[in-house]
A and B are shown apart, each in its own frame.
Chain A
Amino acid sequence: MKVALIAVFTALSLGTNYVMIDLPNVKLMDALIFIAAFLFGLEVGLGSAISIWLIYGFINPYGQADPLLLFFLMTGESFYAIAGAFLSRASAAQDLLNNARPYKRMGLLFGLIGFQATFAYDVLTNFGSWIFKTNSLYQALVIGLITGVPFAIIHEASNLVFFATVVPLAIIASRRIGLPLQK
């Protein structure tokens, strides 16, 4: 069952990634990983995150990721799975799911969590892309943060919107059709 779910979320994410290829750093993938982990547990989220990047890291019109960058991309993508799995157990999210009309507060909560997970992803992956081009880890962190900021802003802004809109709707819809949350 979990393998099938990982395959479905991987296919969904890859499909949307390639459709949105002309919009660098604007992807539904991160939101889908979060939804996978929130609804079906950490294993499904992590499995999807890793399997997506195993394909997207190699078959990508912008070029292949080298093994080190791929490691950082997979680790960073796992942040969304971890955030989704933890939030599904948090009382803040549980309370909202039990509300009759939770949209606004869910949008706020998921938007903020998505924004912060995206920031962590951007810092880690920008750091990873400079780690062997600089003289120290600190330099890699600072240069990565500064030079990656135009792309990071677009990534974070788009994910803020996706997490505040798509994620709550998907989770509420899944609850309405009777899908239980994984504990």
Chain B
Amino acid sequence: MFYLVLGLIAALLVAAQVGAYYYLQRSYGGSLSTSSAQCGPSSGSSAGTNVVETNTLINYGNGTLRWFNETNIPATWNFYQLTVHLANGNVKEQCYGTPYNEHYVTGINNVNNRSPFYWTVWIFCQSQNAWATSPVGADMIRLSNGQTLAWAYEVPYQPPLPNARTVASCF
């Protein structure tokens, strides 16, 4: 009986975690991307015919803001691959292999993390008309049509645009 109760509680907790994971996947592009799983330089492949149009802001933290509007990219790309593409490969990162499959971006176009300034990913939540920090790394953000994202070099967490509205999450 004791083991049965323990097992049932564990099963409930597993179900809660699976549900939360599914919700997280659905909230950030339908499925979590695995297309840049390998460490090392990656500019992303252009395989596939589906294309999505995205808008990206890079705020260098020194008053320089650069918008890359209506960028057409393969629908299979994630935000890390888009970043490498926009920066012409000039992205510095630390790679975490399996099981994380994540790049921790530490520099873009020769602007590198230096405490207390860090590159921070922001997502524009259209439903709330506000920016939210991404709860997942750039590799896990699969891009959808019309999506707007930003990299901001800042003391976390200032809005990526001066005086822009922010929310805790897009949920």
Q: Do A and B bind each other?
A: yes
> Using an 8 Å CB-CB cutoff, how does the interface string of A14-50 with B read, 1 for contact, 0 for none?
0000000010100000000000000000000000000
Range class of the A interface residue count: 20 to 34
B3 touches A109 (CB 8 A): yes
Q: A119 to chain B: which residues have CB within 8 Å?
A: 13, 17
B13 to chain A, nearest CB (A): 5
Q: Which of A51-59, A139-147, A169-177 contacts B (4 or more CB under 8 A)?
A: A139-147
Q: B7 to chain A: which residues have CB within 8 Å?
A: 112
Question: Any chain B CB within 8 A of the CB of A68?
Answer: no
Question: Any chain B CB within 8 A of the CB of A154?
Answer: yes
Range class of the B interface residue count: 20 to 34
A146 to B23 CA separation, bound complex (whole angstroms):
7
Partner of B171, one of A112, A143, A153, A154: A143
Question: Any chain B CB within 8 A of the CB of A92?
Answer: yes
Partner of B10, one of A112, A130, A139, A145: A112
Given A92-B2, A154-B99, A149–B168 Cβ distance below 8 Å? no
A139 touches B168 (CB 8 A): yes
> Quick one: which of A89-125 are within 8 Å of B by CB?
92, 108-109, 112-113, 115-116, 119
B28 to chain A, nearest CB (A): 10
Partner of A149, one of B2, B3, B21: B21
A147 to B140 CA separation, bound complex (whole angstroms):
12
Additional A-B contacts beyond A24-B96, A135-B168 (4; CB < 8 A):
A149-B17, A149-B21, A152-B17, A156-B17
A-B contact pairs, 28 of them (CB 8 A): A22-B96, A24-B100, A92-B2, A108-B3, A112-B7, A112-B9, A112-B10, A115-B10, A115-B13, A116-B6, A116-B10, A116-B13, A119-B13, A130-B168, A134-B169, A139-B168, A143-B135, A143-B171, A145-B20, A146-B20, A146-B135, A149-B17, A149-B20, A149-B21, A149-B24, A150-B21, A150-B136, A154-B100
